[in-house]
Structure 1
Amino acid sequence: MADPYTTLGVQRGASEADIKKAYRTLAKELHPDRNKDNPKAAERFGQVTSAYDLLSDKDKRARFDRGEIDADGNPASPFGFGGGGPRPGQGGGQPFGDDGMDLGDIFDGLFGGGRGRGGGGFGRGARQAPPQRGGNVSYKLAVTFEDAAALKPQRITLQDGKTIDLKLSVGVETGTQMKLGGKGQPGPGGAGDAIVTIEVRPHRFFERDGDNVRLNLPVTLKEAVLGGKVKVPTVDGAVMLGIPAGATSGKVLRLKGKGFHAKAGARGDQLVTLMIDLPSEDEALKTFVEGWSGDDGRNPRAGLGV
């Protein structure tokens, strides 16, 4: 794999936020679902994902920067033969020290390799590349609004027909990617990973607002005037909510801990906006209002400047 910094298009000293931003931009652009007729985009998507996997791991990134592992996460040469110059036995002439000493002879003596024998010697034999891991496999998983908020486990079927229960991560949202290690294509160096992209389905009456959930709740005129308990749907099931007497349309009530799980660990709330629902044809109500002056000296539109 190419240098992961180059693959993501960031500088070597880039911050974690810059790396994550670059990855999200490229992943959105190259995702296989958006490039079904472009196999090169799918290949590039795998490269970008592998680069992000390495650089988002603080330990692996530090080891890569120190030259201890390569871009595939494999151990680098124990003698540091990386980068620009030719390695022993790899062409470009024989390796010599500052005083003209043939370093190939030294390595032959240390590791028992003979000139011209090709196979066993470190200095003269061709150094075999480490076995390659299998490719990553991308999946798209649609999750209901309620399941995403409550972090309910999701069952996903892999390409080999096996099923696995996936535990959703806190802060999950549409576009969140989760990695299942070793669940990708098999390979001589081990299986690749499964990359699962989450899509949270919209809801017919819930709306997400950050980690909170918003709901417009219709109430009757009697419930608004006199107050009382009403049943309210939440992502965890229905609960009873107390309506204060004299409530008006637009009043927001809060149900603690009925929202999405935040990355910091806390859970958001459900914000319930009351909407007084008047009947379209109610002669008794019409007669009452006609006989009621309703003039208490207030101007309910004063806040609008009129």
Structure 2
Amino acid sequence: MDRPLSIPSSRRPGRALATFFTLTFLISWGAWVPVNLAARGVIAAAPPAALANLVAVFGPLLAAVLTARVMNGGAGPLFSGLWRWRLSARWYAFVLLYPPALSLVTSGVSVLLGQGWPDWAHPPILQALPDVAAPLWPWPLLPLLFVQQTFLGSSMGEEVGWRAFALPRMQARWGALPASLLLGAVWGVWHWPYHSTPGHPLEHTPFGWTVLGTVAASVLFTWVWNGTRGSLLLALLFHSSVALTSSFVASGTGSGRSAALAWVAPLAVIAATRGSLGRRARIPSGAEESQRAGAGKA
């Protein structure tokens, strides 16, 4: 029988969170900042951008696994939410359809304000793909890219850290809404090296709007996490839907307008749940679930 993990005490969660966030920024920024400096001409060479980005996006996962192993005895429980899939269809519908719906609404508002329709015939992802004369190209790639993004891309690299590790501890310490706002701000700041890298797609997007967007998204991620009793699978699907919507669906321009519209649903959720974001009862962390399972076997 595996040794059960101990429930973090009132002191240990704070140290675990500090360790996790420190490691996350050290790994992610440590991988990407050399690329940033090389692009600015500060240093002569840097690792390939693709490799640096791969390490950077998996920084939260690596930090969560390392912290859990050192401070909680093991990282296995972080992934237990992958098997929490027997959920209401409305949760699947929301995480898969909300991001493209928001993109379409943003485009519609932009048109109403005098801008032209986005070029939906040439989605942003075409800039990274070869020119192929195939019907409906590149849409046939969507299922494959969705699976890759979910299990081998930034969805897995980030959500194990942000949601499976940090969110339960932050909610236990500060409550659902404050935890969501704080985690969303940290999540946004984590993206800063991309914004300051010459030639990166985020270079010309105002950094403040990105942070507002991640804070808004964090509220919705917490609501989904609480409503699905900590389903890591749904968090991964939600993240993938957000990522691939921006790649496959051209949207109306205007960072400020996009950030403002992104807050409509979070504010509605905050109002509907009176700030609880669906947290009716304390959701066990992975460590707590492991201890309870061990106690049941004893």
TM-score by length of 1: 0.22
Please identify the structure whose Cα radius of gyration is greater.
1
Structure having greater relative contact order (Cα 8 Å, sep ≥ 6): 2
In terms of fraction of residues, the more strand-rich structure is 1
In terms of fraction of residues, the more helix-rich structure is 2
TM-score by length of 2: 0.22
